[in-house]
Amino acid sequence: MGRRWIAYRTLAGKEIHRFLRIWPQTLLPPLVTTSLYFLIFGALMGPRIGPMAGFSYIDYIVPGIVLMAVINHSYANVVSSFFSAKFQRHIEEMLVAPMPNWVILAGYLTGGILRGMTIGALVLTVATLFTDLRPTNPLLALAIALMTSLLFALAGFINAIFANSFDDISIIPNFVLTPLVYLGGVFYSVQLLPEPWHRLSLANPILYMVNAFRYGFLGVADVDIEVAFLLVGGLIVVLSLWAWWLLRRGVGIKH
């Protein structure tokens, strides 16, 4: 086995072990919150809201809520793990070792993706208590979920590189990510919005991911699916290069 592979496995294993060990902080809260969404918006209010794009309201919102969990937790895992490695300085254990930067990056991203996807799967399981929704195109749904997870793991990594305090790792999630997710068509079809809100919504990249994921379940979307894949793929390339370049320059981790 190659040295780089061993190093990657060590780091990825450590990252996975970390979120499993602190599961009451990492796995439990999203289950509680999303169950409440399903209960309130789906079961209690859904029938009064009526159908959306031809589907019952709960079926319409389940994919968005699942993807929202994937986004939040892929991001949160990497931003908090990498920042605390910086803060407690055990990042130095990796910097002294013969680990290429991309191995470090890949190890953290693996942790973020696994946490995001694990929580996505758990939330989807909870949803089956409220609806018997089945994906029409599971592969497409899985692909866009994985890509979205990777993208937000990357974003969390970059956030952690620039962060100097614990405040810095909560600003982006609270003031950028949450609004974009809520306005990204998780709870409604943007077709219903008047201008200029409809056009403005189309500038929100999360809208494309939510809709592509929903398309995998329901076969309907407010946007072009190919555009969604191209957009997410393009953003992944850009953020990967950026993250790798930052690591190489030692920004935020080397004097």
- Residues lying near other proteins in the complex (CB under 8 A) are found at 1-4, 6-7, 9-11, 14, 85, 88-90, 92-99, 250, 254-255
Closer residue to other proteins in complex, CB, 68/169: 169
Reply yes or no: is the peptide bond before residue 98 cis, omega within 30 of 0: no
Query: Least Å distance between CB 84 and other proteins?
Result: 8
**Residues composing the chain:** 255
The single-letter code of the amino acid at 6 is I
Closer residue to other proteins in complex, CB, 93/224: 93
Closer residue to other proteins in complex, CB, 89/199: 89
Query: Least Å distance between CB 16 and other proteins?
Result: 13
Contact indicator for 71, 181 with CB cutoff of 8 Å: yes
Query: Least Å distance between CB 168 and other proteins?
Result: 19
Phi, psi of 52 (to 5 degrees): -125, 125
User: What spatial distance separates the first Cα and last Cα of the chain, rounded to whole Å?
Assistant: 33
Query: Least Å distance between CB 165 and other proteins?
Result: 18
214: number of CA atoms within 13 Å, CB side? 30
Whole-number Å distance between alpha carbons of 141 and 65: 13
Closer residue to other proteins in complex, CB, 22/230: 22
134: alpha, beta or left? (left if phi > 0; alpha if psi -120 to 50): beta
CB-neighbour burial class of residue 75 (10 A; exposed 0-12, middle 13-18, buried 19+) = buried
Closer residue to other proteins in complex, CB, 96/139: 96
Query: Least Å distance between CB 21 and other proteins?
Result: 9
Whole-number Å distance between alpha carbons of 26 and 76: 9
Query: Least Å distance between CB 27 and other proteins?
Result: 18
Closer residue to other proteins in complex, CB, 9/220: 9
- The token duo for 159 is 């956030």
Closer residue to other proteins in complex, CB, 51/250: 250
Query: Least Å distance between CB 104 and other proteins?
Result: 9
Contact indicator for 46, 56 with CB cutoff of 8 Å: yes
Whole-number Å distance between alpha carbons of 70 and 68: 5
